Amino acid sequence: MTRALIFPGQGSQSVGMGRELAEAFGAAREVFDEVNDALGQNLSKLMWEGPQDDLTLTENAQPAIMAVSLAVTRTLEREGGFRLADKAAFVAGHSLGEYSALAAAGTFSIADTARLLKRRGQAMQRAVPVGEGAMAALLGLDFDQAAEVAAEAAQGPNGKEVCTAANDNGGGQVVVSGTKAAVERAIEIAKTKGAKRSMLLPVSAPFHCPLMQPAADEMAEALGAVELKAPSVPLVANVTASKVADPATIRDLLVKQVTGMVRWRESVLYMEEQGVTSYVEVGAGKALSGMVKRIAKEPEITAVGTPADVEAFLKSV
């Protein structure tokens, strides 16, 4: 059995996330304390007590989701002697989850990861004024059909607006991102192309599209000031859907990821081609588990996010 560890992205946040881990394991508490110290913010209090609206803010949700993933990872290491290099062939993450994956594999320190994600969230929010951008999920179209819808929607009455495929999540789920009017047009066009359902997503900015270029420029500066080590296992990168281990290349791909598409369907297919049969979703929620089920052939999928999950997983390995 060949295993990959996968790390969730934005949308997995909920009030109470990580609290049981912190109560059960000292290793998890350490991670939450490190993140709080790095940010100069009591992020764990916000995670455990809310309010949900503040937790959902991009600048809080991104480091919070990472913190839960790394709390699980460190607990597996400390409680069960789980060594990533011995137990997995790849790591991968969905959007911000790529930073969690790299922190788990030792490329970044947890403190640097928290600060990078805080800045990433702030930079993404600054890039486009609230209300000017949007994202929508198109369900029931394959990727090529969804890309055609986005291209048609971008040809707006005011000349060319922005609407591009942002997340190829597999199983007939493609997210488009761009100018609000163009994304709303995409929803209407998708209906005429046979989409089962299309809906605006409750996000505060149009991620993974060219409108995010100011945020990409800011992340290039931020990543240039941080030390990156080679990961203990290769990363399957969002923007290339193939493995990478060179720190300079990883830095470049993380910058491109801000405006580039999350090629999740292709990433899972790549891992499957490399012999991966077992996927372990590390952290909050089970969103990626559902995606993998729709993409891979008969995968073995485990979600590890609670103390009970940790104990059951350690018994299985």
- CATH of region 2-127+211-316: 3.40.366.10
Q: What confidence category does residue 1 fall into, taking pLDDT thresholds of 50, 70 and 90?
A: confident
Hey, what CATH topology would domain 140-201 get?
Alpha-Beta Plaits (3.30.70)
pLDDT score for 139: 98
Give the tens place of pLDDT for each residue, 161-182.
Answer: 999 999 999 999 999 999 999 9
Place of tokens 């069960």: 80
How much is the average pLDDT of 34-58?
96
CA distance 232 to 104: 9
CA distance 75 to 164: 39
CA distance 158 to 161: 7
CA distance 125 to 60: 12
Domain residue spans of the chain: 2-127+211-316, 140-201
Apex CA 97: angle with CA 40 and CA 212, to 5°? 80
CB atoms within 10 A of CB 314: 15
pLDDT score for 156: 77
Of the candidates 177, 198, 208, 267, the residue annotated as catalytic is 208
How much is the average pLDDT of 26-47?
98
CA distance 315 to 304: 12
CA distance 93 to 24: 26
Give the tens place of pLDDT for each residue, 281-296.
Answer: 999 999 999 999 999 9
For strands 300-304 and 235-236, give the pairing. Answer: unpaired
Burial-class residue 215 by CB neighbours within 10 Å (0-12, 13-18, 19+): buried
CB atoms within 10 A of CB 221: 11
CA distance 183 to 188: 9
pLDDT score for 204: 83
With a CB cutoff of 8 Å and minimum separation 6, the contacts of 77 are 27, 83, 84
Q: What confidence category does residue 158 fall into, taking pLDDT thresholds of 50, 70 and 90?
A: confident
Give the tens place of pLDDT for each residue, 216-238.
Answer: 999 999 999 999 999 999 999 99
How much is the average pLDDT of 141-150?
97
Place of tokens 């290769």: 234
Flag whether pLDDT at 306 surpasses 80. Answer: yes
Flag whether pLDDT at 18 surpasses 90. Answer: yes
Among 82, 100, 78, residue whose Cα is nearest residue 26: 78
pTM across the whole model: 0.97
Of the candidates 44, 95, 100, 177, the residue annotated as catalytic is 95
Q: Is 95 a catalytic residue?
A: yes
CA distance 198 to 208: 18
pLDDT score for 42: 98
Among 184, 169, 96, 102, residue whose Cα is nearest residue 139: 169
Q: Is 94 a catalytic residue?
A: no
CA distance 99 to 108: 8
